Structure 1
Amino acid sequence: MTSLQPPALITRTALPVRLTLVALAGLAAACAPVQPRATPASQSVPALATQEVAPTAAACPKELSAIARCLAGQDSAGAYYLIAMPTAWNQRLVLHAHGGPALGAPKPERAVEDLERWSIMVRAGYAWAGSTFRQGGVEVRAAAEDTERLRQIFVKHVAKPQRTVLHGQSWGASVAAKGAEMFQRTADGQRPYDAVLLTSGVLAGGTRSYDFRTDLRVVYQYLCNNHPRPTEAAYPLNIGLPRDVAMAQGDLQARLNECLALNKPAAERTPEQQRKVQTLVDVLRIPASSIQGHMNWATFHFRDVVQHRTGGASPFGNMGVVYKGSPDDAALNAGVQRYKADPQAVARFAEDTDPTGRIPVPVLTVKGVDDPTAFVELDAQFKATMEQGGSGARLVQTFTRHNTHSYLSDPTYPTLLTALLRWADEGVKPTPESIAQQCPANEAAFGKGCAFLPDYVPAPLVSRVYDRTRP
Structure 2
Amino acid sequence: MRVPPPTAWLGVLLFTACTPVPLTASAARSAFAAELRLRLQTVAPDAEVTELTSEVTRDGGMLVNGKLRGRAFALRFPPAWNRQTVLFAHGYTDPNGTPDVIPSDPTTPEVAQGLLKTVYEQGFAVGYSAFDKRGFAVTSAIENTVALKRFTDRLGSVRAYATGGSMGGSVVVLAVQRYPREFAGALAVCGVVSDWEDTVNYVTHVRALYNYFSEDTPYALPGTHDVTRALPSATMGDVTLTLLKLYVHAKLDARSQAAQILNRTLSAVPGVRSRPEFSTLVVSLLPQLVGIDDFTADAGGSILDNHETRYRSSLLSERENAALNEGIQRYRADPQAVTRFNRQFGSIGEMPVKLLTVHNAYDPLVSYEHEERLRERVARAQQLGHLAQQTLPTRNEALPLPVLSLLGPAVGAAHCGFTPQQSERAWNDLRTWVERDVKPAESFRVDLDR
- Are 2:222 and 2:238, in contact at CA under 8 Å, matched by a contact in 1? no
CA 428–350 in structure 1, closer or farther in 2 if over 3 Å, else same: same
Letter in 2 for 1:321: T
Cα distance in 1, alignment partners of residues 60 and 446 from structure 2: 39
Structure with greater contact order relative to length (CA < 8 Å, sep ≥ 6) = 1
Larger radius of gyration: 2
Cα distance in 2, alignment partners of residues 367 and 67 from structure 1: 36
Letter in 1 for 2:186: V
Tell me the SS of whatever aligns to 1:237. coil
Cα distance in 2, alignment partners of residues 405 and 352 from structure 1: 25
Q: What TM-score do the two structures reach when normalised by structure 2? A: 0.73
User: Counterparts in 2 of 1:236-275, with a 5 A limit?
Assistant: 236-241=226-231, 245=232, 247-257=234-244, 261-262=246-247, 266-267=251-252, 271-275=256-260
Partner residue in 2 for 1:394? 386
The alpha-carbon deviation at position 423 of structure 1 amounts to 2.6
Partner residue in 2 for 1:216? 206
CA 376–67 in structure 1, closer or farther in 2 if over 3 Å, else same: farther
Pair 1:324 & 2:312 matched? yes
Pair 1:303 & 2:293 matched? yes
CA 417–290 in structure 1, closer or farther in 2 if over 3 Å, else same: same
Pair 1:410 & 2:402 matched? no
Pair 1:372 & 2:359 matched? no
Partner residue in 1 for 2:111? 114
Cα distance in 2, alignment partners of residues 110 and 357 from structure 1: 34
CA 93–233 in structure 1, closer or farther in 2 if over 3 Å, else same: closer
- Are 1:356 and 1:385, in contact at CA under 8 Å, matched by a contact in 2? yes
Q: Point out where structure 2 has 5 or more consecutive residues left out of the alignment.
A: 1-44, 396-413
Pair 1:105 & 2:98 matched? yes
CA 371–235 in structure 1, closer or farther in 2 if over 3 Å, else same: closer
CA 59–134 in structure 1, closer or farther in 2 if over 3 Å, else same: farther
Within the candidate set 37, 54, 57, 1:57 is matched to 54
Q: Point out where structure 1 has 5 or more consecutive residues left out of the alignment.
A: 1-47, 185-190, 433-453, 460-471
User: Counterparts in 2 of 1:70-469, with a 5 A limit?
Assistant: 70-76=63-69, 78-103=70-95, 104-110=97-103, 113-114=110-111, 117-118=114-115, 119-156=117-154, 159-184=155-180, 191-225=181-215, 236-241=226-231, 245=232, 247-257=234-244, 261-262=246-247, 266-267=251-252, 271-284=256-269, 285-286=274-275, 287-306=277-296, 308-311=297-300, 313-325=301-313, 326-327=315-316, 328-403=320-395, 404-406=414-416, 408-432=418-442, 454=443, 456-457=445-446
The alpha-carbon deviation at position 98 of structure 1 amounts to 0.8
The alpha-carbon deviation at position 102 of structure 1 amounts to 3.8
Letter in 2 for 1:131: S
Cα distance in 2, alignment partners of residues 233 and 414 from structure 1: 43
Q: What TM-score do the two structures reach when normalised by structure 1? A: 0.70
- Are 1:80 and 1:106, in contact at CA under 8 Å, matched by a contact in 2? no
Partner residue in 1 for 2:399? none
Letter in 1 for 2:309: V
CA 54–430 in structure 1, closer or farther in 2 if over 3 Å, else same: farther
Cα distance in 1, alignment partners of residues 220 and 190 from structure 2: 38
CA 264–121 in structure 1, closer or farther in 2 if over 3 Å, else same: farther
| RMSD, aligned CA | 3.2
- Are 1:94 and 1:164, in contact at CA under 8 Å, matched by a contact in 2? yes
- Are 1:266 and 1:274, in contact at CA under 8 Å, matched by a contact in 2? yes
The alpha-carbon deviation at position 393 of structure 1 amounts to 2.3
Cα distance in 1, alignment partners of residues 432 and 220 from structure 2: 59
